Structure 1
Amino acid sequence: MSALNKNLQKLVSIAQKDEKLAIGLMSGTSLDGLDIALCKFKGNGLQTQFSLVNFTTIPYNEAFKKEVQQVFAKKEVSLEKVCLLNAYIGTFHADLILQALAEWKISPGDVDFIASHGQTIYHAPKRLHQLKNWPNATLQIGDGDHIAVKTGILTISDFRQKHIAAGGEGAPLALYGDVLLGGKTGENRLLLNIGGIANLTWLPGDGNYAHVLCTDIGPGNTLIDAACRKYFNIPYDEDSKIAFSGKVNESLLAALFAHPFFDEPAPKTTGPELFGLEFISNAQKKSGALNVSNEDLICTLSAFTAKSIAGFIQKNIDTHNLQVFASGGGARNIYIINYLKSLLPGTVIKKTDELGINPDAKEAILFALLGNEALCGEPITIGQNPAVLMGKFSFPV
C-alpha cells in the first residue's frame, strides 16, 4: 500500500496536534476591511478550548472597494471581473495576513491553518430567486489556493457550499460557533450579530440542541451604510450622530416592514441582494416619502433595524430571564442598541466580550473554529441545520 503524500501526512499531523494555532478571516458585506483573528484551539466539539491571541481589522482602500462593488449583490456583472477578482482577492488577503503576522512578530511557519470565509458577492436562496427547479446558492470569491501558496499555510475555505449541498441555505453559519462557545446550561442566551445583515442564535438554557434556532432576521447595517454612502458620502453613521439628528418617518417605516420576508418562518437567510437602495426607494414610493430628509431617512432605517430585531425576538423567543450578547458593527450603534433596550424592557443586552469573545472578532473566530472542526471534529445535529463538516482544503504546494 502506498504511503500518504507529504501534504496528507502534514494534514494528519496538524489534525492530531493537542493545540493548534489558527487564523480566521472574515470579509463582510460592509466591505470595510479584512478581520484577521489569530486563535489557539485545544480539542474539538463541545470540548473545544479557545483563546484569542491577536486580532486586527485591516481597512480596505477605496479603490479595492470600488472593484468589488462592481460585482457585489448584482444579478448581471462582468464574468471576466468575477474571474479576475477571485484570484486577486485570494492573493490580496494573503498579503494582509503576512502583514498582520509581521506586525505580531509571528512566523507563518508557526501557524497551523488559515480558515477563510472569502468575499460574498451574491447570496441566492430559493426564497429570493424564486426560480423553479433551481437550488439554494451562494458565491464567495477569494480563492483558497492563492492564499495557501502565497502564505505557505494550509488554507480551509468555501465553507458555505457544504451547508447548501446538505440542504441548508449556506447561512447563517454562526450557529455552530455559537453553540460550541456561547451556550450554558441553565441560562437562556441569545447571541445577536448585527453586521450587514442581522442574525441571531437562540441558546435555551435546557441545553437541548433540538430547540436551538439560528436565523437571519433582516437588515443590520447594510441599509444604513448604503444610505450614508449615497447621501452623506461617508461609510457609516459614526456614533449614530445622523440618526439622533433625525426623526422616524412612520409611514416609510411601515412600508419597509410590508415586505413578505418578515412574515416568512424561520430559519431563513437574506442579504443585500434584497435589502439595498432599490428596497429603500420602493418603500419611499409606496409610502409617499420621496421627499423625506436625509437625516430622517437614516433615523428611520436605524429604527427599522432595531424594530425588526426586537419584533422577531418578541414573536419567536422566550424572553423570560433572557440575556442578549451582541456583536458586529451594529453592537456599537448607540441608536440601535438604545432602541432595542426600549423595545425589550427587562432583557439584559451585553456585548459578547462578556463571554470572552471579542465582539468585533466574533465572525473571524467562528471561521477559525469551523476550520478546527473540519480538521478534527465530528458533525453535530443542531435544530434543523445540516450535520456537516464544512470547508475545502488548499495545500501550499
Structure 2
Amino acid sequence: MDSRSGPSRARLCVGLLSGTSVDAVEAVLCRIEGTGPRVRITLLAHVSRPFAPEFTQRVLSAQDARALCELNFALGERFAEAALEVISRAGHRPEDVDVIGSHGQTVAHWPSSLSDTPSTLQLGEASVIAERTGISVVSDFRTRDMAAGGQGAPLVPYLDWALFRKPGVARALQNLGGIGNVSVVSERLEDTIAFDTGPGNMVMDGLARRISGGQLSCDLDGHLSRGGRVVPHLLEELLAHPFLALPPPRSAGREGFGDALVTRLWERARDTRPEDLMATAVEFTVEATARAYETWLLPRFTLEAVYVSGGGIRNPVLMERLTARLAPLPVHPVDALGLPEGAKEAVCFALLANEYLWGTPANVPSATGARRQVVLGKLTP
C-alpha cells in the first residue's frame, strides 16, 4: 500500500474500532515499519464482528452513569474478542503483537462548535482489552487534540495522507459511516484539509429500525429508498440543519444526526410513505456531501477523484446518487487504491498506536483546528 522506505523495526499492530453506526467491531492486524512520511503498512488480516441488534440498542440508549459504566466494560470484552480473532486469523499469537490501537465506541462528542466545554467520550475499557489479550493498548485518541484546542476529529486524515498522497495530485477520501467525513490530501501534511461533511448512514439507519420495527439495521441494498421518491419540503428542512452551515474545522456526531433528529423526522412525516422517507434521507446525505464539496473544496482544489469508504458504499442507491451529484468528478471505492474499504478505519488506529510508540504527533491541525501537533493516545500496559 505504500512503497516509501526507511530503516526501522517492523511492528505488529492491531487496530480496533466501532463506528457511529454501532453495527460491529472492525479489527485489523498490520505490519507497520517506520513512522511519519516514511511509514509503510501491510494489512495482514481483517475481521468484522457484528453486534447483536439488542447490543446495538443498548449502546444507543445508554444515558445514565450505571449504564455507561457497565457498557464501557462490556464493549471492552467485545473489542478484546475481536483483537484475539484477527490475530489468530493472521496465523499469529498474542505474544507476537506489539500493540493494540483501540478507538472504542464514541457515545458523546461535543466539540467547541457545539459546546462551551469541548469534550468527547469513547467507551471500550482499555484495561479489559489489555488484560484479556496480554497486549499493551493505546486508546483515547481524540482527547489530546481537543485539549490542544482542536475538534478531536477527524482522525483518519493522518492515515489518508500517509497512505494515499501522490505528488502533484489532490485526492478526496470520503468516508460514509454513520457520519460522513472527507480528507483532501496532497504531498504535504500541512496542506491536508478534512472535516465532517454531515450525515452519512446515521439518519437512514435510524429510519430503517423504525420502519422495520427493529428487524432492519440499515436500508439493506437500498431496497427501501429505491422504491421511494424524495419529499422536497422535508429535504429542505433537513438541509437547514445548522451544522451544515458551519465552516471547517467541524466535526459531528450522534448529538446532531442521531435519534433526536430521526424522532423529529418520523413524527413530522407520519403520513409519508416509508420508502419516500428513506429516499429523502438518502438525498439528505448526498446533498449535504455535495454542497460541502462545492462550498469548501472545489473552489480550492482540482481533485483527481473521490475515493469512498464506509458502510454507505454498500448502499447502491446512495452510491448512484452521490456519483451522479458529484459528476463529472470521478467517484471510486477506496479499494482502487489498494486498501479494502471495510478495513480502512481500523488500519488508522493501528497506525496511530504505532505513532504513539514512536512519539510521533499524528493529529492534523489543518483538519481539527488544534493549536499544534500533539502525540495522540494513552497507554495501558
CA separation in 2, counterparts of 1:169 and 1:320?
26
From the superposition, tell whether residues 322 and 104 of structure 1 become closer, same or farther in structure 2 (CA, over 3 Å). Answer: closer
From the superposition, tell whether residues 179 and 104 of structure 1 become closer, same or farther in structure 2 (CA, over 3 Å). Answer: closer
From 350, 353, 360, the equivalent of 1:378 is 360
CA separation in 1, counterparts of 2:208 and 2:356?
39
Deviation (angstroms), 1:210: 3.9
Residue 285 (structure 2) pairs with residue 305 (structure 1): yes
The equivalent residue for 1:89 is 75
Contact in 2 for aligned 1:101/1:107 (Cα 8 Å): yes
CA separation in 2, counterparts of 1:317 and 1:99?
40
Residue 48 (structure 2) pairs with residue 66 (structure 1): no
The equivalent residue for 1:292 is 272
* Paired amino acid for 1:329: G
CA separation in 1, counterparts of 2:189 and 2:328?
26
The equivalent residue for 2:191 is 211
Deviation (angstroms), 1:358: 1.4
Deviation (angstroms), 1:321: 4.6
* Paired amino acid for 1:55: H
Alignment of 1:218-229 (within 5 A): 218-229=198-209
From the superposition, tell whether residues 93 and 209 of structure 1 become closer, same or farther in structure 2 (CA, over 3 Å). Answer: closer
Aligned CA RMSD, in angstroms, stands at 1.9
Identity %: 35
From the superposition, tell whether residues 33 and 310 of structure 1 become closer, same or farther in structure 2 (CA, over 3 Å). Answer: same
From 260, 265, 273, the equivalent of 2:255 is 273
Contact in 1 for aligned 2:104/2:139 (Cα 8 Å): yes
From the superposition, tell whether residues 60 and 283 of structure 1 become closer, same or farther in structure 2 (CA, over 3 Å). Answer: closer
Q: TM-score, normalised by structure 1?
A: 0.88
Secondary structure, aligned partner of 1:300: helix
| 1:50-98 deviation digits (Å, cap 9, x = unpaired) | 1100001011123322332231xxxxx2211211222222123212322
- Which ranges of structure 1 fall in alignment gaps of 5 or more residues? 1-15, 72-76
From the superposition, tell whether residues 262 and 321 of structure 1 become closer, same or farther in structure 2 (CA, over 3 Å). Answer: closer
The equivalent residue for 1:387 is 373
CA separation in 2, counterparts of 1:277 and 1:88?
22
| 1:362-393 deviation digits (Å, cap 9, x = unpaired) | 11000111111111142266524441111111
Secondary structure, aligned partner of 1:235: coil
Contact in 1 for aligned 2:361/2:376 (Cα 8 Å): no
Secondary structure, aligned partner of 1:156: strand
Deviation (angstroms), 1:186: 1.2
Deviation (angstroms), 1:103: 4.0
From 34, 39, 43, the equivalent of 2:25 is 34
- Which ranges of structure 2 fall in alignment gaps of 5 or more residues? 1-6
Alignment of 1:39-118 (within 5 A): 39-71=30-62, 77-118=63-104
The equivalent residue for 1:248 is 230
Q: TM-score, normalised by structure 2?
A: 0.91
CA separation in 1, counterparts of 2:313 and 2:249?
22
From the superposition, tell whether residues 97 and 280 of structure 1 become closer, same or farther in structure 2 (CA, over 3 Å). Answer: closer
* Paired amino acid for 2:200: G
* Paired amino acid for 1:354: A
The equivalent residue for 2:4 is none
| 1:239-298 deviation digits (Å, cap 9, x = unpaired) | 11111100100110000011221111111011111112432454577xx64411110001
Q: How many residues align?
A: 367
The equivalent residue for 2:110 is 124
User: Highest CA radius of gyration, 1 or 2?
Assistant: 1
Secondary structure, aligned partner of 2:162: helix
The equivalent residue for 1:167 is 149
CA separation in 1, counterparts of 2:137 and 2:266?
45
